[in-house]
């Protein structure tokens, strides 16, 4: 609402986040320019000032073009950039860019398809990497699969060399300038299919609305993250926004529009393999690693990651209570150890090989909801036991009875040995608890009614399971059972009117918040100690139960508050609404401008309408005496308090596995070569999986088109919550495929008739929607000419179960992952499209085998 | 009889002030008997929409222990009373007649669902966890490094769960030694 320009890219905000979109429209009403960059023209584009059609999977080329434009035209916010970014830092002499090495950075090993990242460091300082990353580098050197965990910047020691004039050829600013020198408007046109006039209109809107007086924001969703270079998409936006001075200021930022009620919460308190609560990394297997060496390896020296010891010890105290003492490293060895990539896709492949007997699927529907759904079902079919907890009878619970492989004859029900427990779940009106929304805001929802029949909350289920496990192991002398025996599991229980003994969600939230030596609720993570006198289950959530009050349940009406509404719910950390908001003031602590003021130094303390994201009494002229004392090592003019140099990074000297700066690579499957780096079509460090059910479409004429998946307003994700309700299914009753009139003519597709999209994995049918909203783009063909690219829009809400059924788009996709976060590419892949319905039953298997043979993949 | 004729909507439409039949003329005794679900509710509970991550406020209206209506919460500074089509469908989500409310069990190689008591299901799952964990336990690797884990039990879920639920999941799995604990947030 405070923005002067909003670029929505990789998101169809008006349709996927309609109620949040009202604030974009409020900003527009107040004069903001709204721009939508997207392959599809949608209702977001319809109300934008400018729609920029883009070839799916080429956003880094566009963002790189904008970075180049900002540098070459000098339209960066110079004072902000010099003071608050790492533009002046010198990169070490060993670093080589993609420009020097034909498309890879220094340190690339073609045998392992991975980088040794050591040569990317600053000169004069050993930047060891982000929290958790130092461990990773060790793992890389051991040639094991590298995992990145933790958040924030890289811990580092020493003082990096700097050139504040920004002239040194190895200073970050000059390195960045050279890296993007070839990302010209002409290149953008050739790669993305965006004409130069449109590019200049976008660049002009962005730069004229950034600086001291004005701010611009980027909004993205999984249109950016679901790529083999997804993390680098976000990095590219970070570089651009840091150059333009749009971070930590009202109306600025890079806003992730997340898709599920508590997906932010399930990252903060992760059910993710590589993280403990609060982005503390899970420990890796090392010889003789104890708590101290783990902390030494993973904590930062400077900034708030410097206190990781207090967060981790408090977590161990919350989990293992009195059993956790200084003498036993607070039960640090109770934590299981990682030895590689234990993320979802490798786990499912291990299931398919019969290596993982047991599986819990909780509020998820991978049988239609995950890329290459067939692979997911092959995993399910090779389990010993499966527990599914859901509101509806989803495909993941019924794959053995009526899944697609039963229809094709590839699997027989009688042959599937998986034992399936379906436990009906309680919905949000039937339980207390918090969701964390996309703005990091925790909001409490109160229980309104009792769940019917056997329906129970997941809180009840896990509490009961834990109780039974502990009871059964109470007398065990096996050391492997000690963690369960020591686990604190005493939650107060309330017996409801129907006799359900529900554990108290408030008691769990209070444990997450943490308590002090007297058992009183902590009010800030700054109160946490490493001596075992405090406990707390997730340090970034400390404060949500401050003063023994459930702060997440606060509901002072918005109309009685200012726009930040600090008394509605509670945002982590410490109820701050704008992260890094110290950057809204200049180095001396004065607002950059009256129009964009948020936090400033009043002579004694930081003040303003938001909660300062900075030590509140640290004056702008403070200079630390030591570089290794956590928060005390922060200088008064370093706003990026989670980074070890206090600065926003235009160049990442550590923390990433596929390059210190984003470079344009084509998707795993692309109809054209990479015109910027012809020797490397796709991200050289991406993760590929050679398995029979996961073939990749080869380049060439067999799969000449691009498809991208998308959502409609009336359905939610793979339909687990929306395919069983009458209104939504009347509004959107069936699967459809969006094509341009040009493609319809080329392939003989008729509006409202059937067509099927084909990849090497599967064929999926839907009704044809011929629309001018789908626009062919002309791009470079890699051999000096140009060619037209047709893009097909494929919604992904359907599956075989529910009121309105249809093919699942995920059948079409392969599994190829971003190496940093193991997220798959769903937003750009190649395909063919044909009129008519797809073959059914065994004919489908034969048809796909034919197509693979024709493409040269099978004999 | 006269009353009946006078109450005939066409007569009222032609003779009254509502010639288009859009207001008073279209009213009937049935109309007059109708009341808003919100006015007869015996409780209103503050809640949050369970679909996307915008976090719109919801007011849950209940009567006799059942949800009767779900409406946007005008107090919310995020949503200001609005809900999208999905949020507006919450009532049919939470009161769906298609919703399964009993445990269903499929034995290995079975061709049909069977009934199972909830308590028995919990005991059976506890058995499976303990047995699998014991069978697949890794104390150290071949280099003698401390592992203290099982790769035999995996979990996936859930971005629509409460933080408190995710917390108990991570806590219990970690103590159990399970590391393949994953979430929609990655996929």
Report pLDDT digits (tens) over A113-126.
Answer: 999 999 999 998 76
CA distance to partner chain A, nearest, from residue B44 (Å): 8
Residues from chain A that touch B159, judged by Cβ atoms under 8 A, are: 259-263, 266, 363-364
With CB atoms and an 8 Å threshold, state whether B168 touches A462: yes
Closest Cα in chain A to B172:
A466
Residues from chain B that touch A358, judged by Cβ atoms under 8 A, are: 128-129, 132, 152-154
Q: What residues contact A86, with CB distance under 8 A and at least 6 apart?
A: A172, A645, A647, A648, A649, A650, A651
| pLDDT score recorded for residue A126 | 66
Q: How would residue A155 be classed by pLDDT, with cut points 50, 70 and 90? A: low
| pLDDT score recorded for residue A289 | 87
Residues from chain B that touch A359, judged by Cβ atoms under 8 A, are: 153-156
| SS3 readout for A583-652 | HHECCCCCECCCCCCCCEECCCCEECCCCCCCCCCCCCCCCCCCCCCEHHHCCCCCCCCCCCCCCECCCC
With CB atoms and an 8 Å threshold, state whether A262 touches B128: no
| pLDDT score recorded for residue A134 | 47
With CB atoms and an 8 Å threshold, state whether B158 touches A363: yes
Asked if pLDDT for residue A288 goes beyond 80, the answer is: no
pTM of the model: 0.95
Q: What is the arithmetic mean of pLDDT over B88-106?
A: 97
How do residues A43-62 score in pLDDT, each as one tens digit?
999 999 999 999 999 999 99
- Which of A268, A364, A560 is most worth mutating to test chain B (most B CB atoms within 10 A of its CB)? A364
CA distance to partner chain B, nearest, from residue A190 (Å): 31
- Measured CA distances, A426 to A33, A449, B157 (Å): 43, 10, 15
| pLDDT score recorded for residue B177 | 98
With CB atoms and an 8 Å threshold, state whether A19 touches B79: yes
Q: How would residue A132 be classed by pLDDT, with cut points 50, 70 and 90? A: very low
Segments forming the whole domain that contains residue A11:
5-86+181-256
ipTM of the complex: 0.95
Among the partner-chain residues A260, A359, A452, the one whose CB lies closest to the CB of B184 is A260
Asked if pLDDT for residue A137 goes beyond 50, the answer is: no
Burial class (CB in 10 A: 0-12, 13-18, 19+), A537: buried
Asked if pLDDT for residue A139 goes beyond 60, the answer is: no
Q: What residues contact A99, with CB distance under 8 A and at least 6 apart?
A: A178, A179, A181, A182
CA distance to partner chain B, nearest, from residue A388 (Å): 10
With CB atoms and an 8 Å threshold, state whether B104 touches A418: no
| pLDDT score recorded for residue A157 | 63
Q: What is the arithmetic mean of pLDDT over B124-146?
A: 96
- Measured CA distances, A83 to A235, A517, A585, A587 (Å): 19, 41, 11, 7
With CB atoms and an 8 Å threshold, state whether B176 touches A484: yes
Q: How would residue B4 be classed by pLDDT, with cut points 50, 70 and 90? A: confident
Number of domains in chain A: 2
How do residues A14-43 score in pLDDT, each as one tens digit?
999 999 999 999 999 999 999 999 999 999
Per DSSP, helices labelled H in A220-289 are: 222-225, 230-243, 265-268
Q: Supply angle C-alpha A277, A280, A282, rounded to 5.
A: 95
Final residue of a domain: which of A213, A235, A256?
Answer: A256
Asked if pLDDT for residue A128 goes beyond 60, the answer is: no
Q: For residues A52 and A40, give the distance between their C-alpha atoms in angstroms, rounded to a whole number.
A: 9
Q: Is A152 among the domain residues?
A: no
Q: How would residue A148 be classed by pLDDT, with cut points 50, 70 and 90? A: very low
Sign of CA dihedral A745, A747, A751, A753: positive
Asked if pLDDT for residue A64 goes beyond 70, the answer is: yes
| A474-483, A641-650, A801-810, B88-97: segment of lowest average pLDDT | A641-650
CA proximity to A779, closest of A770, A790, A764: A790
Asked if pLDDT for residue A138 goes beyond 50, the answer is: no
Q: Is A727 among the domain residues?
A: yes
> Average model confidence (pLDDT) for chain B?
93
With CB atoms and an 8 Å threshold, state whether B167 touches A450: no
With CB atoms and an 8 Å threshold, state whether A568 touches B170: no
Residues from chain B that touch A263, judged by Cβ atoms under 8 A, are: 53, 159, 183-185
Chain A with chain B: Cβ pairs closer than 8 A: 468
Q: What residues contact A32, with CB distance under 8 A and at least 6 apart?
A: A3, A4, A5, A6, A24, A209
| pLDDT score recorded for residue A626 | 75
With CB atoms and an 8 Å threshold, state whether B126 touches A472: yes
Q: For residues A350 and A361, give the distance between their C-alpha atoms in angstroms, rounded to a whole number.
A: 16
CA distance to partner chain B, nearest, from residue A576 (Å): 16
Look-up: residue for tokens 């406020």?
B57
Q: Is A547 among the domain residues?
A: no
Domain ranges of chain B: 2-33, 37-94, 104-182
Residues from chain A that touch B50, judged by Cβ atoms under 8 A, are: 261, 427-428, 435, 721
Q: How would residue A156 be classed by pLDDT, with cut points 50, 70 and 90? A: low
Asked if pLDDT for residue A83 goes beyond 80, the answer is: yes
Task: Indicate which CATH number applies to the domain containing A210.
Answer: 3.40.228.10
Asked if pLDDT for residue A681 goes beyond 80, the answer is: yes
Q: What is the arithmetic mean of pLDDT over A400-417?
A: 97
CA distance to partner chain A, nearest, from residue B49 (Å): 7
| A34-38, A127-131, A736-740, B66-70: segment of lowest average pLDDT | A127-131
Q: How would residue A204 be classed by pLDDT, with cut points 50, 70 and 90? A: very high
Residues from chain A that touch B41, judged by Cβ atoms under 8 A, are: none
Q: Which is more confidently placed, A136 or A618?
A: A618
Among the partner-chain residues A344, A414, A432, the one whose CB lies closest to the CB of B187 is A344
Asked if pLDDT for residue A143 goes beyond 90, the answer is: no
CA distance to partner chain A, nearest, from residue B38 (Å): 14
Look-up: residue for tokens 């993205």?
A220
Among the partner-chain residues A361, A443, A727, the one whose CB lies closest to the CB of B92 is A727
Q: How would residue B159 be classed by pLDDT, with cut points 50, 70 and 90? A: confident
Residues from chain A that touch B132, judged by Cβ atoms under 8 A, are: 357-358, 384-385
Contact between B85 and A728 under an 8 Å Cβ cutoff? The reply is yes
Secondary-structure breakdown of chain B: helix, strand, coil percentages, each rounded to the nearest 5: 35, 25, 40
Among the partner-chain residues B85, B156, B186, the one whose CB lies closest to the CB of A823 is B186
Asked if pLDDT for residue A130 goes beyond 50, the answer is: no
Task: Indicate which CATH number applies to the domain containing A824.
Answer: 2.40.40.20
Look-up: residue for tokens 């084509």?
A666
Final residue of a domain: which of A231, A256, A281?
Answer: A256
CA distance to partner chain B, nearest, from residue A178 (Å): 33
How do residues A344-367 score in pLDDT, each as one tens digit?
999 999 999 999 999 999 999 999
How do residues A810-821 score in pLDDT, each as one tens digit?
999 999 999 999
Among the partner-chain residues A446, A464, A466, the one whose CB lies closest to the CB of B46 is A446
Q: What is the arithmetic mean of pLDDT over B37-56?
A: 94
CA proximity to A302, closest of A156, A517, A126, A105: A156
Look-up: residue for tokens 């599956």?
A799
DSSP designation for A569: S
| pLDDT score recorded for residue A122 | 93
CA distance to partner chain B, nearest, from residue A514 (Å): 13
Final residue of a domain: which of A256, A286, A312?
Answer: A256
Residue A574, Cβ neighbours under 10 Å: how many?
18
How do residues A427-442 score in pLDDT, each as one tens digit?
999 999 999 999 999 9
Contact between A682 and A670 under an 8 Å Cβ cutoff? The reply is yes
- Which of B76, B135, B149, B158 is most worth mutating to test chain A (most A CB atoms within 10 A of its CB)? B158
Among the partner-chain residues A337, A563, A824, the one whose CB lies closest to the CB of B147 is A337
With CB atoms and an 8 Å threshold, state whether B169 touches A319: no
Among the partner-chain residues B77, B151, B158, the one whose CB lies closest to the CB of A568 is B77
Q: Is A751 among the domain residues?
A: yes
- Which of A435, A557, A723 is most worth mutating to test chain B (most B CB atoms within 10 A of its CB)? A435
Among the partner-chain residues A285, A355, A423, the one whose CB lies closest to the CB of B145 is A285
How large a percentage of chain A has pLDDT more than 70?
96
Contact between A334 and A488 under an 8 Å Cβ cutoff? The reply is no
A2 SS3 class: coil
> Average model confidence (pLDDT) for chain A?
94
| pLDDT score recorded for residue B28 | 82
- Mode of pairing for the β-strands spanning A687-688 and A606-607: unpaired
In words, the CATH class of domain B37-94 is mainly beta
With CB atoms and an 8 Å threshold, state whether B124 touches A822: no
Among the partner-chain residues B52, B178, B186, the one whose CB lies closest to the CB of A16 is B52
Q: What is the arithmetic mean of pLDDT over A819-830?
A: 95
- Measured CA distances, A570 to A22, A277, A511, A667 (Å): 22, 18, 16, 39
Asked if pLDDT for residue A636 goes beyond 90, the answer is: yes
Q: What is the arithmetic mean of pLDDT over A623-645?
A: 84
Q: Is A693 among the domain residues?
A: yes
With CB atoms and an 8 Å threshold, state whether B80 touches A22: yes
Asked if pLDDT for residue B171 goes beyond 70, the answer is: yes
Q: Is A150 among the domain residues?
A: no
CA distance to partner chain B, nearest, from residue A511 (Å): 10
Q: Is A247 among the domain residues?
A: yes
Asked if pLDDT for residue A648 goes beyond 90, the answer is: yes
Q: Which is more confidently placed, A140 or A640?
A: A640
- Which of B46, B49, B52, B56 is most worth mutating to test chain A (most A CB atoms within 10 A of its CB)? B52
Count the alpha carbons within 13 Å of B45 in the hemisphere toward its beta carbon. 24
């Amino acid at each position: 609402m405070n923005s002067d320009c909003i670029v929505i890219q990789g998101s169809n905000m008006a349709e996927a986040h309609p109620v949040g979109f009202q604030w974009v429209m409020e900003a527009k009403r107040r004069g903001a320019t709204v721009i939508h960059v997207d392959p599809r023209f949608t209702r977001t584009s319809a109300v934008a000032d400018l729609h920029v059609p883009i070839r799916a999977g080429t956003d880094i080329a566009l963002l790189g073009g904008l970075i180049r434009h900002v540098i070459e035209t000098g339209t960066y916010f110079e004072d902000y950039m010099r003071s608050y970014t790492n533009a002046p830092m010198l990169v070490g002499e060993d670093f080589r860019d993609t420009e020097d090495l034909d498309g890879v950075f220094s340190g690339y090993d073609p045998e392992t398809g991975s980088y040794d990242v050591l040569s990317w460091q600053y000169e004069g300082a050993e930047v060891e990497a982000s929290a958790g990353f130092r461990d990773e580098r060790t793992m890389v050197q051991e040639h094991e699969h590298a995992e990145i965990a933790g958040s924030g910047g890289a811990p580092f020691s020493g003082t990096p060399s700097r050139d504040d004039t920004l002239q040194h050829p190895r200073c970050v600013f000059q390195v960045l300038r050279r890296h993007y020198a070839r990302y010209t408007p002409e290149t953008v046109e050739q790669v993305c299919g965006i004409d130069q006039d449109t590019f200049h209109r976008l660049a002009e809107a962005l730069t004229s609305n950034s600086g001291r007086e004005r701010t611009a924001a980027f909004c993205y969703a999984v249109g950016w993250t679901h790529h083999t270079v997804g993390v680098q998409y976000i990095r590219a936006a970070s570089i651009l926004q840091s150059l333009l001075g749009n971070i930590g200021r009202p109306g600025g930022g890079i806003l992730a529009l997340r898709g599920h009620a508590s997906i932010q919460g399930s990252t903060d308190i992760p059910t993710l393999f590589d993280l403990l609560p609060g982005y503390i990394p899970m420990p890796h297997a090392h010889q003789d690693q104890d708590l101290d060496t783990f902390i030494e390896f993973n904590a930062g020296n400077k900034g708030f990651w410097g206190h990781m010891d207090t967060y981790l010890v408090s977590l161990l105290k919350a989990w293992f209570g009195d059993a956790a003492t200084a003498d036993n490293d607070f039960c640090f060895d109770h934590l299981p150890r990682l030895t590689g990539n234990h993320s979802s896709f490798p786990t499912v492949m291990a299931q398919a090989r019969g290596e993982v007997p047991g599986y819990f699927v909780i509020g998820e529907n991978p049988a239609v909801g995950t890329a290459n759904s067939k692979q997911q079902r092959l995993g399910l079919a090779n389990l010993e036991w499966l527990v599914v907890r859901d509101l509806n009878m989803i495909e993941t619970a019924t794959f053995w009875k009526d899944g697609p492989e039963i229809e094709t004859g590839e699997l027989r029900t009688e042959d599937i040995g998986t034992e399936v427990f379906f436990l009906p779940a309680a919905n949000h009106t039937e339980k207390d608890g918090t969701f964390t929304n996309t703005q990091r805001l925790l909001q409490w929802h109160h229980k309104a009614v009792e769940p019917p029949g056997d329906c129970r909350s997941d809180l009840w289920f896990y509490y009961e399971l834990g109780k039974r496990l502990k009871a059964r192991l109470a007398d065990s002398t096996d050391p492997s059972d000690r963690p369960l025996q020591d686990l604190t599991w005493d939650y107060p229980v309330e017996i409801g009117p129907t006799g359900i003994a529900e554990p108290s969600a408030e008691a769990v939230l209070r444990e997450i918040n943490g308590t002090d030596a007297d058992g009183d609720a902590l009010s800030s993570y700054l109160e946490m100690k490493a001596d075992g006198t405090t406990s707390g289950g997730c340090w970034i959530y400390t404060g949500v139960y401050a003063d023994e009050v459930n702060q997440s349940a606060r509901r002072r009406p918005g109309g009685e508050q200012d726009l930040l509404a600090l008394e509605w719910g509670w945002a982590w950390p410490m109820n701050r609404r704008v992260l890094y908001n110290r950057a809204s003031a200049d180095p001396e602590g004065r607002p950059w401008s009256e129009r964009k003021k948020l936090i400033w130094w009043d002579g004694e303390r930081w003040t303003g309408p938001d909660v300062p994201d900075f030590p509140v009494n640290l004056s702008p002229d403070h200079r630390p005496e030591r570089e290794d004392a956590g928060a005390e090592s922060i200088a008064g003019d370093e706003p990026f308090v989670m980074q070890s140099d206090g600065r926003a990074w235009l160049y990442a000297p550590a923390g990433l596995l596929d390059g210190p700066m984003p470079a344009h690579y084509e998707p795993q499957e692309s109809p054209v070569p990479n015109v910027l780096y012809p020797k490397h079509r796709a991200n050289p460090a991406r993760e590929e999986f050679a398995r029979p059910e996961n073939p990749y479409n080869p380049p060439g004429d067999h799969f000449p088109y691009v498809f991208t998946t998308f959502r409609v307003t009336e359905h939610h994700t793979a339909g687990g919550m929306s395919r069983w309700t009458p209104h939504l299914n009347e509004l959107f009753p069936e699967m459809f495929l969006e094509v341009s009139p040009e493609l319809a003519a080329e392939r003989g597709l008729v509006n409202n008739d059937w067509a099927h999209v084909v990849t090497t994995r599967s064929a999926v049918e839907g009704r044809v929607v011929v629309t001018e909203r789908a626009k062919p783009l002309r791009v470079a063909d890699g051999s000096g000419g140009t060619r037209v690219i047709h893009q097909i829009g494929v919604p992904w809400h359907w599956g075989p179960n529910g009121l309105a059924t249809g093919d699942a788009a995920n059948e079409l996709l392969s599994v190829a992952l971003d190496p940093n976060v193991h997220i798959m590419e769903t937003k750009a892949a190649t395909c063919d499209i044909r009129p008519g319905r797809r073959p059914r039953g065994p004919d489908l298997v034969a048809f796909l085998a034919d197509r693979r043979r024709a493409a040269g993949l099978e004999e | 009889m006269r009353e009946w004729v006078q109450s005939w909507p066409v007569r009222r439409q032609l003779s009254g002030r509502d010639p288009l039949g859009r207001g008073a003329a279209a009213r009937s005794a049935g109309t007059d008997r109708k009341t808003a679900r919100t006015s007869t509710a015996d409780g209103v509970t503050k809640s949050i929409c369970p679909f996307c991550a915008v976090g719109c406020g919801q007011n849950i209206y209940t009567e006799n222990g059942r949800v009767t209506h779900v409406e946007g919460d005008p107090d919310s500074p995020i949503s200001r009373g609005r809900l999208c089509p999905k949020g507006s469908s919450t009532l049919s989500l939470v009161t769906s007649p298609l919703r399964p409310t009993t445990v269903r069990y499929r034995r290995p190689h079975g061709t049909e669902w069977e009934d199972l008591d909830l308590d028995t299901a919990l005991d059976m799952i506890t058995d499976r966890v303990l047995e699998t964990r014991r069978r697949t336990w890794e104390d150290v690797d071949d280099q003698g490094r401390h592992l203290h884990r099982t790769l035999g039990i995996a979990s996936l879920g859930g971005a629509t769960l409460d933080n408190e639920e995710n917390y108990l999941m991570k806590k219990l799995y970690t103590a159990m030694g399970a590391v393949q604990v994953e979430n929609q947030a990655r996929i």
